[in-house]
Amino acid sequence: MVNKMKPATAHYLILGSFCLAFYSGCTSYKFLESEHHPRTWKKLFLVHHWPVTVCKMSENDCKDPPQYWTIHGLWPDKVDECNRTWHFNVTEIKDLLPDMRHYWPDILHSSPNRTQFWKHEWEKHGTCAATVEPLNSQKKYFGRTLDLYQKLDLNSCLLKVGIKPSSTYYQMTAIKEALTSVYGVTPKVQCLPPEEGEEVQTIGQIEFCFTKDLELRNCTHSEAESYVMPNNWHFGPEELSVCNDTLTYYPAQVQFYN
Ligand SMILES: *[C@@H]1O[C@H](CO)[C@@H](O)[C@H](O)[C@H]1NC(C)=O
Ligand SMILES: *[C@@H]1O[C@H](CO)[C@@H](O)[C@H](O)[C@H]1NC(C)=O
Ligand SMILES: *[C@@H]1O[C@H](CO)[C@@H](O)[C@H](O)[C@H]1NC(C)=O
Ligand SMILES: *[C@@H]1O[C@H](CO)[C@@H](O)[C@H](O)[C@H]1NC(C)=O
Ligand SMILES: *[C@@H]1O[C@H](CO)[C@@H](O)[C@H](O)[C@H]1NC(C)=O
């Protein structure tokens, strides 16, 4: 580990002052849809992942990961693989491909024509999300996910509150408080646990929750929603889990240890 532990105080101060200043700039989301179809799930997770951490978790060779948060998926809670006969068809999303490649890349398999990651996301999650009208085709599912991602604009908002990749560690509570103050909802943040002999976790995923009507909601669940999302896309031997309120590394580049 080359980085020395540094005080996180500076980031606290920066966060505090920037949050108020930029509050209004990052809140232009509101998705009004009202459809009334039978549904078996209650909320959607729009999952962003940090490509550098994804690379770090993988045994695969992963070169030059993007330096921005990319889409992992849009996942309904409670259900998966809802329609095994509704096959992924890349032709249906051909108009979206430039945006897909940029914002929803397969971090671990960089060939631009690989569609395996999108196929997996569609079959596992898209076929379930498709029970609501705004997401009921491949074009709508992928297109709406891209829209939500662009409306949330997580990359700009993180920069505006002073959270950027750094060799300095952050307090997880500061990151969570900043996100909550910017978006007005509690996201779910996932980390890679510390390496052997280390104490610092690494941020890996930021998930925002949406209602069935595609409105932003808190990720905190009510008593009735006690379901643990299985980790569905195995990158390697290591797994993400909900971050602890400890020092957190937000790495700028992949560093391989050992
Ligand atoms: C599953 O998908 C196929 C192909 O789109 C469709 O014809 C069928 O009605 C779907 N089944 C269910 C239960 O939604
Ligand atoms: C894939 O989608 C395209 C465009 O909608 C359609 O023409 C084609 O038949 C589909 N292919 C399969 C295998 O369903
Ligand atoms: C990748 O896809 C593009 C556009 O669909 C196509 O023009 C190109 O030939 C493909 N490349 C490979 C290596 O298949
Ligand atoms: C959080 O703490 C628990 C209990 O010590 C541990 O099992 C888990 O791996 C930690 N998670 C992370 C992301 O470090
Ligand atoms: C999210 O939770 C906070 C605090 O519990 C609450 O003030 C806020 O209204 C909730 N937001 C939404 C959109 O439910």
CA 252 to chain centre: 17
Of 83-92, 102-111, 130-139, the one with minimum mean pLDDT is 102-111
Three-state secondary structure string covering 138-205: HHHHHHHHHHHHHHHCHHHHHHHCCCCCEEEEEEHHHHHHHHHHHHCCCCEEEEECCCCCCCCEEEEE
Residue 63 is predicted with a pLDDT of 79
Residue 242 CA: nearest ligand 4 atom is: 13
> What does pLDDT average to over the chain?
82
Q: What is the pLDDT of residues 195-224, one digit of tens each?
A: 888 899 999 999 999 999 999 999 986 544
Ligand nearest to the CA of 83: 1
Residue 256 is predicted with a pLDDT of 55
Domains of the chain: 41-249 (3.90.730.10)
pLDDT band at 249 (very low <50, low <70, confident <90, very high): very high
Q: What is the pLDDT of residues 231-248, one digit of tens each?
A: 444 444 468 999 999 999
Ligand 4 in reach of 202 Cβ (< 6 A): no
Residue 255 is predicted with a pLDDT of 67
pLDDT at 177 over 80: yes
Q: Which amino acid does the sequence have at 142?
A: F
125 has catalytic annotation: yes
In contact, 252 and 166? CB cutoff 8 Å: yes
Is the entire prediction scored with pTM above 0.85?
Answer: no
In contact, 60 and 107? CB cutoff 8 Å: no
Residue 84 CA: nearest ligand 1 atom is: 1
Residue 7 is predicted with a pLDDT of 42
Of 4-13, 22-31, 181-190, the one with minimum mean pLDDT is 22-31
Mean pLDDT, residues 144-167: 96
